[in-house]
Chain A
Amino acid sequence: MTPTLLLVQVLNGLQFGLILFLIAAGLTLVFGVMDFINLAHGVQYMVGAYLAAAFAAWTGSFWLALGLALPTALVVGLLLEILVFRHLYDRDHLDQVLATFGVILFLNQGVKFLWGAAPLNVPMPDLLSGSIPLPGGLLYPTYRIAIIAAGLGVAGLLYVLVHHTRIGMLVRAGASNAPMVSALGVDIRRLFMGVFGFGAMLAGFAGAMVAPILSVEPGMGDNILILAFVVIVIGGIGSIRGAFLAALLIGLVDTVGRTLAPTLLRLFLDPSVASQTGRAVAPMLIYILMAAVLFFRPSGLFPVRR
Chain B
Amino acid sequence: MSGGADFAAAAAAGRPVPSRLGRLGVPALLFTLLALAPLLAMAGAEGYLLSLLSRVMIFAIAAIALDLILGYGGLVSFGHAAFLGIGAYAVGILSSHGIEDAFVQLAVALGASGLFALATGAISLRTKGVYFIMITLAFGQMLFFLATSLASYGGDDGLTLASKSLIFGRKLIEGDRAFYYAVFACLLVTYILGRSIVASRFGRVLRGSRDNPVRMEAIGFHPFRYQLAAYGISGMLTGLAGFLLANQAEFVSPAYMTWQRSGELIFMVILGGLGSLHGALLGAAAFLLLEEYLAGVTEHWKMIFGPLLIVVVLFARGGIMGILGGRGRRD
Q: Which residue of A lies closest to B330 (CB)?
A: A92
In contact, B266 and A98 (Cβ under 8 angstroms): yes
Beta-carbon contact of A230 and B138 below 8 Å: yes
Would B270 and A94 count as touching, CB distance under 8 A? yes
Interface centre among A31, A93, A102, A280 (most CB of B within 10 A): A102
CB of A241 within 8 A of chain B? no
For residue B307, which residues in chain A have a CB less than 8 angstroms away from its CB?
A: 102, 106
| A266 CB-CB contact with B under 8 Å | no
Interface 1/0s, chain B 274-313, versus A by CB < 8 A? 0000000000000000000000000011110111111011
Binds A, one of B18-26, B94-102, B142-150, B201-209: B142-150
Interface centre among A93, A230, A284 (most CB of B within 10 A): A284
In contact, A99 and B309 (Cβ under 8 angstroms): yes
Q: Whose C-beta in chain B lies nearest to the C-beta of A91?
A: B313
Interface membership of chain A positions 210-226, coded 1 if the CB is closer than 8 angstroms to chain B and 0 otherwise: 00000000000010001
* Contact A294 B131, beta carbon cutoff 8 Å: yes
Within 8 A of A (CB), among B147-201: 148-151
Cα distance A279–B266 in the bound complex, in angstroms = 31
Contact-residue size bin, chain A (C-beta under 8 Å from the other chain):
35 or more
Number of A-B contacts (CB under 8 A): 121
> Within 8 Å of chain B (Cβ to Cβ): is A295?
yes
| Residue among B70, B301, B303 with max Cβ neighbours from chain A (10 Å) | B303
A260-285 with Cβ < 8 A to chain B:
276, 279-280, 283-284
- A288 interface contact, C-beta 8 A: yes
* Given A103-B310, A104-B306, A294 and B266 contact (CB-CB distance below 8 Å): no
Q: Which residue of B126, B259, B270, B303 is within 8 Å of A226 (Cβ)?
A: B259
B149 lies within 8 A of A295 (CB):
no
When the two chains form their complex, are residues B127 and A108 in contact, meaning their CB atoms are under 8 A apart? no
Q: Is A9 in contact with chain B by the CB < 8 A criterion?
A: no
- Output the least CB separation between A117 and chain B (Å): 10
Q: What distance in Å separates the Cβ of A80 from its nearest Cβ neighbour in chain B? A: 11
| A113-B300, A280-B149 known; A102+B76 contact, CB < 8 A | no
| Cβ of A299 under 8 Å from chain B | yes
Q: For B309, list chain A residues within 8 Å (CB).
A: 98-99, 101-102, 105
Q: Is A119 an interface residue (CB 8 A)?
A: no
Assembled-state Cα–Cα distance A39/B260 (Å): 11
Query: Across the interface, do A280 and B313 meet the contact criterion of CB distance under 8 Å?
Result: no
B151 (CB) vs chain A CBs: closest residue: A276
- Select one of B78, B148, B149, B306 contacting A102, CB under 8 A: B306
Bound-complex Cα distance A288 to B123 (A)? 12
List CB contacts (< 8 Å) of A75-98 with chain B: 84, 87-88, 91, 93-95, 97-98
Chain A, Cβ-Cβ closest to B127: A298
Q: A233: CB under 8 A from chain B?
A: yes
- Given contacts A94-B76, A298-B126, whether A113 and B142 have CB atoms under 8 Å apart is no
- Chain A contacts for B137, CB-based, 8 A: 226, 229
Interface status of B44 (Cβ within 8 A of chain A) = no
Q: Tell me the complex Cα distance, A225–B91, Å.
A: 31
Question: Which among A88, A110, A229 has the highest number of chain B CB atoms within 10 Å?
Answer: A229
A159 CB-CB contact with B under 8 Å:
no
Is there contact, CB below 8 Å, between B149 and A294? Answer: no
Q: A105-B303, A222-B259, A233-B131 are known contacts; what are 18 more A-B pairs with Cβ within 8 Å?
A: A39-B263, A87-B314, A91-B313, A98-B266, A99-B314, A101-B263, A105-B305, A109-B300, A226-B137, A226-B259, A229-B137, A280-B146, A280-B150, A287-B142, A290-B135, A290-B138, A294-B134, A299-B131
Q: Can you offer 20 A-B residue contacts whose CB atoms are under 8 A?
A: A31-B130, A37-B130, A88-B314, A91-B313, A97-B263, A97-B266, A98-B312, A101-B267, A103-B310, A105-B302, A105-B309, A109-B301, A109-B306, A222-B259, A226-B137, A230-B134, A237-B130, A280-B146, A284-B142, A298-B127
B interface vs A, CB < 8 Å?
A: 70, 76, 78, 123, 126-131, 133-135, 137-139, 141-142, 145-146, 148-151, 259-260, 263, 266-267, 270, 300-303, 305-310, 312-314
